[in-house]
């Protein structure tokens, strides 16, 4: 049976070329792999480079040898299926041509050049690309150092002890979070893998590299006790006396978000042409879908009238979240919240004040939950919020056990009266 073998050219030289041998149909192909190592790092039993810390390139070379073995088998069998038995010299040329494509995928400059092009493409559509340009780039660079080999597209394929394993381990135990602690949460890790897959799929769509499976890049997530503000708490935020102009603007935008279910990327860029006589019409930046929000609450009408249908714009969501948390603290939204969070692969019980969990996304959850509790039909709320499935919508509904019991009792009363 035809079989690919690897060996080094010399045991005596300081550095020896790694050779490929392929015996088939009473013929023998011998060709250089284009790689060389010190003989002491070669394992003749496994026909691979020894996994030594002092020679970090071992993983990259072994991966390339694996790919080369598969390539030889593929070219040989493909031609055999067509009834063609290639002589060694002809087979060598076919393999060399096929390797050119892989060499392109192995080029470090090619990888980062296309990553830069991807970030530029994202920036043309979204003003905030920090998730790609700062966060993911930083983590990939750090994992690249740990892996000990320049990043290239082939490294992202599914392999034992491959780059993805290194990347996952680095994010789980070594990456530094915003609190200065090592190890990221499950949701943050999942976000990094999600963004990495967005980049790779962008490359596949543009035929920059041949597609390969991304199933091994698991975008893990866990349900966290994201909070919403009750109608009374939103009123407390509205009543709070503020004198700093930026705080007033953030508070008004936050209230606007609670009354419309718009995301930060949408309510922070509203223009007069989005605001009609009795409604707001805007294409969501995240999905490009159009949503229509009726202007039917006093709080919403007052905010729009105050700014003459031109609410202030706000670009920095991190600054927005910091300011609104401070406002909520002063408004007395300080109920203790207990929730579970996975950090560095360990589940922890975390106790914090409610205002500490408030973000721009709290607006959207507050709108959905408050209207749900007030008995508005789910399909109607979804039509305004832009949710496409009830399953996705229900993840936004955050009610405690007592509220669930009250809702159940109200539902049962309605049935008895029928």
In whole numbers, what is the pLDDT of the chain averaged over residues?
A: 88
User: Which contacts of 2-7 are long-range, i.e. CB under 8 A and separated by 24 or more positions?
Assistant: 2/73, 2/76, 4/68, 4/69, 4/72, 4/73, 5/47, 6/33, 6/47, 6/48, 6/65, 6/69, 7/42, 7/44, 7/47
Does residue 405 carry a pLDDT above 80?
A: no
Burial class (CB in 10 A: 0-12, 13-18, 19+), 286: exposed
How many residues are recorded in the chain? 418
In degrees rounded to 5, what are phi and psi of residue 346? -125, 135
Tell me which of 344 and 205 has the higher pLDDT: 205
Q: Measured between alpha carbons, how far is residue 293 from residues 185, 193, 249, 300, 309 in Å?
A: 35, 34, 21, 11, 14
Per-residue confidence band for 413, with pLDDT thresholds at 50, 70 and 90: low
**How far apart are the C-alpha atoms of 13 and 11, rounded to whole Å?**
6
Per-residue pLDDT, 224: 66
Does residue 418 carry a pLDDT above 80?
A: no
Per-residue confidence band for 358, with pLDDT thresholds at 50, 70 and 90: very high
Does residue 55 carry a pLDDT above 90?
A: no
In degrees rounded to 5, what are phi and psi of residue 339? -145, 160
Per-residue pLDDT, 359: 93
Residue 31, helix vs strand vs coil: strand
**How far apart are the C-alpha atoms of 56 and 148, rounded to whole Å?**
5
Per-residue confidence band for 170, with pLDDT thresholds at 50, 70 and 90: very high
**How far apart are the C-alpha atoms of 369 and 157, rounded to whole Å?**
42
Residues 378-394 have a mean pLDDT of: 90
Residues 264-273 have a mean pLDDT of: 95
User: Which contacts of 27-34 are long-range, i.e. CB under 8 A and separated by 24 or more positions?
Assistant: 27/87, 27/88, 28/88, 29/72, 29/88, 29/91, 29/92, 30/88, 31/92, 31/95, 33/6, 33/64, 33/65, 33/68
Per-residue pLDDT, 412: 54
**Per-residue b/e over 36-66, b at no fewer than 16 CB within 10 Å?**
bbebebbeeeebbbeeeeebebbbbbbbbbe
Does residue 252 carry a pLDDT above 70?
A: yes
Residue % of the chain over a pLDDT of 90 = 60
**The most confident of 170-179, 256-265, 369-378, by mean pLDDT:** 256-265
Instruction: Catalogue all structural domains in the chain, each as residue range(s) with its CATH number.
Output: 3-106 (no CATH), 110-205 (no CATH), 231-416 (1.10.443.10)
Inter-axis angle of helices 231-239 and 317-330, to 10 degrees? 90
Does residue 285 carry a pLDDT above 90?
A: no
Q: pTM of the predicted model, to two decimals?
A: 0.63
Per-residue pLDDT, 300: 96
Note whether 87 and 29 are within 8 A (CB).
no
Q: Per residue in 119-157, pLDDT tens?
A: 999 988 777 788 999 999 999 999 999 988 888 888 898
Q: Per residue in 182-196, pLDDT tens?
A: 999 888 999 999 999
Tell me which of 91 and 347 has the higher pLDDT: 91
Per-residue pLDDT, 403: 59
Per-residue confidence band for 214, with pLDDT thresholds at 50, 70 and 90: very high
Does residue 387 carry a pLDDT above 80?
A: yes
**The most confident of 99-113, 155-169, 299-313, by mean pLDDT:** 299-313
Q: Per residue in 60-69, pLDDT tens?
A: 788 889 889 9
**How far apart are the C-alpha atoms of 312 and 249, rounded to whole Å?**
7
Per-residue pLDDT, 395: 79
Per-residue pLDDT, 408: 56
Per-residue confidence band for 410, with pLDDT thresholds at 50, 70 and 90: low
């Amino acid at each position: 049976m035809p079989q690919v073998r690897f060996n080094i050219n010399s045991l005596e030289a300081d550095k020896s070329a790694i050779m490929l041998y392929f015996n088939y149909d009473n013929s023998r192909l011998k060709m250089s792999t284009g790689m060389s190592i010190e003989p002491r790092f070669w394992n003749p039993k496994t026909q691979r480079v020894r996994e030594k810390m002092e020679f970090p390139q071992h993983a990259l070379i072994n991966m390339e040898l694996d790919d080369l073995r598969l390539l030889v088998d593929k070219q040989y069998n493909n031609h055999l299926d067509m009834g063609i038995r290639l002589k060694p010299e002809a087979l060598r040329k076919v393999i060399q041509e096929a390797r050119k494509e892989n060499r392109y995928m192995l080029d470090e400059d090619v990888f980062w050049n296309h990553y830069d092009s991807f970030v530029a493409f994202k920036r043309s559509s979204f003003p905030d690309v920090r998730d790609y340009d700062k966060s993911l780039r930083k983590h990939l660079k750090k994992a690249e150092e740990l892996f000990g080999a320049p990043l290239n597209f082939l490294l992202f394929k599914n392999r034992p002890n491959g780059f993805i394993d290194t990347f996952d381990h680095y994010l789980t135990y070594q990456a530094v979070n915003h609190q200065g602690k090592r190890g990221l949460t499950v949701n943050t890790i999942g976000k990094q893998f999600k963004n990495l897959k967005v980049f790779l799929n962008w490359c596949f769509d543009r035929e920059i590299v041949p597609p390969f499976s991304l199933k091994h890049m698991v975008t893990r997530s866990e349900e966290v006790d994201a909070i919403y503000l009750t109608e009374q708490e939103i009123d407390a935020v509205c009543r709070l006396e503020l004198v700093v102009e930026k705080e007033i603007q953030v508070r008004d935008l936050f209230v606007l978000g609670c009354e419309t279910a718009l995301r930060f990327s949408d309510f922070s860029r509203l223009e007069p042409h989005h605001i009609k006589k009795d409604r707001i019409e805007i294409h969501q930046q995240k999905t490009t879908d159009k949503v229509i929000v009726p202007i039917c609450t006093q709080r919403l009408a007052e905010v729009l009238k105050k700014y003459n249908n031109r609410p202030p714009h706000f670009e920095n969501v991190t600054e927005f979240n910091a300011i609104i948390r401070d406002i909520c603290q002063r408004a007395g939204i300080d109920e203790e919240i207990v929730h579970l969070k996975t950090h560095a692969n360990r589940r922890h019980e975390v106790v914090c004040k409610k205002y500490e969990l408030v973000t721009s996304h709290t607006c959207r959850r507050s709108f959905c939950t408050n209207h749900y509790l007030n008995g508005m039909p789910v399909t109607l709320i979804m039509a305004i919020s832009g949710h496409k499935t009830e399953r996705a919508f229900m993840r936004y509904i955050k009610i405690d056990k007592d509220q669930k019991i009250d809702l159940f009792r109200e539902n049962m009363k309605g049935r008895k009266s029928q």
